[in-house]
Amino acid sequence: MDKLSVMHAFRRIVDRGSFARAAEDLGVSPALLSREVRLLEESLGTSLLSRTTRSMALTEAGQQYYDEVSGILEAVGAVEARIREGAGAVRGHLKVNAPSSFGQVVIAPMLPAFLRAYPDLRVSLSLDDRVLDMVEGGFDVSIRVRPSLPDTALRVRRIGAMRQGIFAAPAYLARAGTPQTPKDLTAHRIIGFLLAEHLTTWALEGPGAPVRIELDPPVRVGNSMALRDLLIAGEGLGTLPDFLSDGPVAAGDLVPVLPDWTLPVPGIYALSASRLGMEAKVTAFLDHLRRALRP
């Protein structure tokens, strides 16, 4: 028995003074309402309504039940109204999880403008290159930067994409030579990203047929900003996403290697725990993030 539905039906019966009129309002049969009230009375161990073929009246227990139920239903209605009113407001506590480098380079710079736009919002930004369970961690939204995502019960939105290339410092290339073909990469000192799907196998596309290069990076790091710094220091050759490579390339600290060859393009995904719709605070955050991702 759905107690809240039965309470609502009982109050409607009393207010309308008739099973038939209440049933018409609720879109059910009078027989169903009669059965529900009978089950309710059995569960309470007392009669709530005195019924004859011509009239219906509340018993003393029925009047008490009606009064209490009316208060409960009004309280529930007030709560629902407050929730609906607040559903479109950008306030509360927004908890975001994102990869470390992406969070530092892309999200952190956009936060001041976002916070100024929504002064009633509190924000917690957790940065971790590991893939965390966002539901267990209590996050409202999790940003993932990957070529693809496994099937998930979470709501997934693709909010952008990024380029990914191979880079090295001019000093390293002057010392070790510049690769002319993908196969030349095997003769170079590779700096690998421990959490990348392409740590030891680079699938490259470019002129001609796709090429898979098997590599054994002697240096492997778990943070892509540390990888970038090692490349700038001339320690080897490695892959970087555009949000980490654009600045050093413009400054002359890094040089694209095999620019005609590309790695799989990672998507930037936002995961939310709800499929029924995102809260206003999540939608507002993703709108700001999309603008930050535009060239």
Tens digit of each residue's pLDDT (9 = 90 or more) over 215-248: 999 999 988 999 999 999 999 999 999 999 999 9
The fold for domain 92-160+267-293 equals: D-Maltodextrin-Binding Protein; domain 2 (3.40.190)
Same fold, 3-87 and 164-257: no
CATH of domain 164-257: 3.40.190.10
Q: Residue 277 has what pLDDT?
A: 43
Q: Residue 185 has what pLDDT?
A: 94
Domain ranges of the chain: 3-87, 92-160+267-293, 164-257
Q: Is the pTM of this model over 0.85?
A: no
Strand residue runs (E) in 187-233? 191-193, 201-204, 211-214, 219-221
- 130-143 mean pLDDT: 79
- 259-276 mean pLDDT: 81
Which secondary-structure segment (H or E) carries 286?
Answer: helix 280-293
Tens digit of each residue's pLDDT (9 = 90 or more) over 152-198: 667 788 888 888 999 999 999 999 999 999 999 999 999 999 888 88
Gap between the Cα atoms of 217 and 191, Å rounded: 6
User: Is residue 275 predicted with pLDDT exceeding 50?
Assistant: no
Structure token pair of residue 37: 């009230």
pLDDT over 70, % of the chain: 92
Say yes or no: domain 3-87 is CATH 3.90.180.10.
no
Strand residue runs (E) in 148-291? 155-161, 164-168, 191-193, 201-204, 211-214, 219-221, 237-241, 255-257, 267-272
Gap between the Cα atoms of 208 and 200, Å rounded: 22
| Confidence class for position 50, pLDDT limits 50, 70, 90 | confident
